[in-house]
Amino acid sequence: MDLQLRDRVYVVTGGARGLGRATTDCLVAEGARVVVSGRNEETLAAAAEVHGDAVVTVTADNADPETPARLLAAARGRWGRVDGALISVGGPPKGPVTGIDDEQWTRAFESVFLGAVRLCREIGTALGQDGALALVLSSSVRAPLADMAISNGLRPGLAMVAKTLADELGPRGVRVNGLLPGRVGTERVDELDEASGDPEAARAAAIRSIPLGRYGEPEEFGRVAAFLLSPAASFVSGAMVPVDGGMLRSL
């Protein structure tokens, strides 16, 4: 299938590592151009080295109110257009509701929730016909994850923001969708397994809950994200798409 991505321009936040990097790789392989943002200059430089002129990097924090304008300016300044964005909202601290203090909730809200809403609003309203947004959320949108109170609290709200924004931008031909990754083999998931105190047991327990019997590969997520951003998915909007090997038990 031709995803019709050649010469289209996308912003990918958190695009230098993990699921964002996997999506960047897929977009570039299909002929797209990508503005990759992140907080770590070293990982951004590595992404730029791999993809050469197909990628522009911007050191930026999603929580910074100036970030959307900087990313849009980078896309327009280099390629004169922007066709969509993958907004990765990062991984909040692990812990139970009773163990997370007000300061941690506030910091997470500003980066995970408000930062993502701001990016969606500013980039979404800048898109024209056939534009697309996709948010990297979590399976916690539909079912709570153990010891992940902040994710369980904030990500379902982001899913509803995405659904609402799909209603608002749809008449202009702009689509908005969410992605719900399960256990995909990224550094973030490795960190969560390590934090359990027994990473091998944590991994084995997680695999038992996945009908396909394994963790996903980052590129498996990246291909789904690239499709949702592409014109090939032109009638898909307001959807929350699990990429979890069948782990979620809800419809």
pLDDT at 231: 98
Look up tokens 């050649």; give the residue. 6
Asked whether 7 and 33 are in contact (CB, 8 A), the reply is yes
pLDDT at 213: 98
Q: Taking the model in full, what pTM does it have?
A: 0.95
Confidence of residue 197 (pLDDT cuts 50, 70, 90): confident
- The pLDDT of 216-238, averaged and rounded, is 98
Look up tokens 């979890």; give the residue. 244
Going edge to edge, which strands form the sheet with 84-88? 55-59, 33-38, 9-13, 84-88, 132-136, 175-181, 240-243
Give yes or no for residue 47 having a pLDDT over 90. Answer: no
- The pLDDT of 178-201, averaged and rounded, is 90
pLDDT tens readout for residues 123-166: 999 999 999 999 999 999 999 999 999 999 999 999 999 999 99
pLDDT at 191: 85
The CATH class given to the 9-242 domain equals alpha beta
> Average pLDDT, whole number, for the chain?
95
Confidence of residue 188 (pLDDT cuts 50, 70, 90): confident
Q: Which residues contact 164 (CB under 8 A, 6 or more apart)?
A: none
pLDDT at 92: 86
pLDDT tens readout for residues 56-106: 999 999 999 999 999 999 999 999 999 999 999 777 888 999 999 999 999
